[in-house]
């Protein structure tokens, strides 16, 4: 598994190496020792996360153009591994950790079912994505139980974030459409 640092402090891109032949492919999408070693060697700030800390696996399915986000957690935050098991997504992260050297910066990634890359998103980030294919299944491995009282969100189209989504928006939830602004969020953290 190849592990790469990103432009955002503590965010890692993990790309497994599939075995492909005439039958199709086999890929190990997660390897706890490799993950633990990568995070231990590269994480520089915040709460340390180990593979054994992940408590929950979730999956969403979205149609082309759907946006989910931008979501995060207050308090101790939430670490997650995100991958696209079917189709492709345009995945966006925004650093909301006040003490981070990349506070307020964003970075986008394409995650798909060809490279099998997935993101390690440490606590303290907003996360959202847009489905690029007719059907996109996104899998999340999360290290904390969900507490709705800790939910934070910024509207996907907030000018303070200025995210250039690659496709016209086909659908967004009422909750995401009514999310607050980047300016309001930064005043409260």
Percentage of residues in the chain having pLDDT higher than 70: 98
Phi, psi of 42, rounded to the nearest 5 degrees: -115, -25
Q: What is the pLDDT of residue 46?
A: 66
Q: What is the pLDDT of residue 171?
A: 97
Largest CA distance in the chain: 55
Q: Which of 71, 90, 127, 156 is catalytic?
A: 71
Query: Rounded mean pLDDT of the chain?
Result: 94
In Å, what is the CA distance from 165 to each residue of 3, 29, 60, 69, 159? 26, 27, 19, 12, 12
Q: What is the pLDDT of residue 58?
A: 95
Q: What is the pLDDT of residue 42?
A: 74
Percentage of residues in the chain having pLDDT higher than 90: 90
Q: Which of 90, 118, 127, 140 is catalytic?
A: 140
Question: How far is it, in rounded angstroms, from Cα 39 to Cα 53?
Answer: 13
Whether 156 is catalytic: no
Count CB-CB contacts under 10 A for residue 182: 19
43 pLDDT higher than 90: no
Whether 71 is catalytic: yes
Q: What is the pLDDT of residue 76?
A: 87
Q: What is the pLDDT of residue 40?
A: 83
Residue with the bigger pLDDT between 92 and 49: it is 92
Rama region for 82: left / alpha / beta (φ>0; ψ in -120 to 50; rest): beta
Question: How far is it, in rounded angstroms, from Cα 29 to Cα 26?
Answer: 9
Strand extents, DSSP E, the chain = 2-5, 12-15, 19-21, 24-26, 56-63, 67-73, 80-86, 88-95, 106-112, 118-121, 125-131, 135-142, 151-153
Domains, the chain: 2-188 (2.60.120.10)
Encode pLDDT of 160-169 as tens digits.
999 999 999 9
| pTM score | 0.94
């Amino acid at each position: 598994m190849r592990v790469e640092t990103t432009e955002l402090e503590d965010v890692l891109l993990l790309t497994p190496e599939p075995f492909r032949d005439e039958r199709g492919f086999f890929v190990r999408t997660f390897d706890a020792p490799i993950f633990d070693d990568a995070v231990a060697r590269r994480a520089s700030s915040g709460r340390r996360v180990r593979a054994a800390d992940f408590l929950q696996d979730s999956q969403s399915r979205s149609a082309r153009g759907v946006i989910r986000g931008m979501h995060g957690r207050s308090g101790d935050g939430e670490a997650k591994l995100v991958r696209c098991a079917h189709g492709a997504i345009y995945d966006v992260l925004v650093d909301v950790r006040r003490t981070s050297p990349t506070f307020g910066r964003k970075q986008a990634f394409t995650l798909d079912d060809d490279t099998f890359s997935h993101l390690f998103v440490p606590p303290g980030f907003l996360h959202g994505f847009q489905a690029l294919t007719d059907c996109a299944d996104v899998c999340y491995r999360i290290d904390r139980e969900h507490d709705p009282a800790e939910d934070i969100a910024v509207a996907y189209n907030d000018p303070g974030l200025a995210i250039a989504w690659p496709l016209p928006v086909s659908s967004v939830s009422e909750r995401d459409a009514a999310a607050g602004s980047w300016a309001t969020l930064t005043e409260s953290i």
